[in-house]
A and B are shown apart, each in its own frame.
Chain A
Amino acid sequence: QQQVKQSPQSLIVQKGGIPIINCAYENTAFDYFPWYQQFPGKGPALLIAIRPDVSEKKEGRFTISFNKSAKQFSLHIMDSQPGDSATYFCAANYASGGYQKVTFGTGTKLQVIP
């Protein structure tokens, strides 16, 4: 049972465009929502994360928007660049003792065309 649904599966934008990737979750126990970026042949790396007590977080050109009532969150990449071409995974965590249980979305492959 997939607890975090991610869309779209793939996305192509022109340089300077604003790609938006959406995720929806079901489990209200989740209390941390990270986005991971993965380049080909590499492992995922944490890009940006948000907690459910805020509606938006910005770090450089990356913004997470969070809608707690709708149980949805999204990643926006401002002024996208060819170097942003990667696969992006949303995720949702909840604490189980000291261990963080993480559920990942299925990933979005982003291509930014020069």
Chain B
Amino acid sequence: NAGVTQTPKFQVLKTGQSMTLQCAQDMNHNSMYWYRQDPGMGLRLIYYSASEGTTDKGEVPNGYNVSRLNKREFSLRLESAAPSQTSVYFCASSEWGGRGAYEQYFGPGTRLTVT
């Protein structure tokens, strides 16, 4: 049981390049999330997917797109990377509804640098 896995762990991009961050969970959770973590800013929600087939914008969605490929996988795409997107990106998952919805399980993160 790996929990939440993310690839890659590290990535350096040049301004204007594109890339996709991958996330997968093996806990049979319905809900999945993408956050970015910046110094002094805490964790900010980019997009979330309440269940397979649905996605919604979070607090800071500009410059990002997401795909909920199936119940296990939720990817984050940067179409044209900008230096402001330099950050650590975390994927998380949780159950949908009930007491299990309260706890989010986080992956190990992807450290992205855009030059």
Question: Which among A32, A42, A97, A106 is the interface contact of B42 at CB below 8 angstroms?
Answer: A106
B52 to nearest A CB, angstroms? 14
Bound Cα distance from A45 to B108, whole angstroms:
10
A60 contacts chain B at the CB level, 8 A cutoff: no
A43 touches B42 (CB 8 A): no
Among the listed B31, B40, B101, B109, which residue makes an inter-chain contact with A43, where contact means beta carbons less than 8 Å apart? B109
Q: For the complex, is B48 an interface residue (Cβ under 8 Å from A)?
A: yes
User: Closest residue of chain B to A31, judged by CB?
Assistant: B102
Q: Are B103 and A34 in contact (CB under 8 A)?
A: yes
Report chain B residues within 8 Å CB of A6. 42
With a cutoff of 8 Å between Cβ atoms, the chain A residues found around residue B109 in the complex are 41-43
Q: How far is the CB of A54 from chain B (nearest CB, A)?
A: 15
Say if the beta carbon of B106 comes within 8 Å of chain A.
Answer: yes
Q: Which of B40, B41, B96, B101 has the most CB of A within 10 A?
A: B101
Closest-by-CB residue of A relative to B106 is A43
What residues make up the interface of B, taking CB atoms closer than 8 Å to A? 4, 31, 40-45, 48, 50, 90, 92, 94, 96-98, 101-109
10 new A-B contacts at CB < 8 Å, known A43-B4, A44-B106, A95-B101: A34-B102, A41-B108, A43-B107, A46-B104, A49-B103, A89-B42, A89-B43, A102-B104, A106-B40, A106-B42
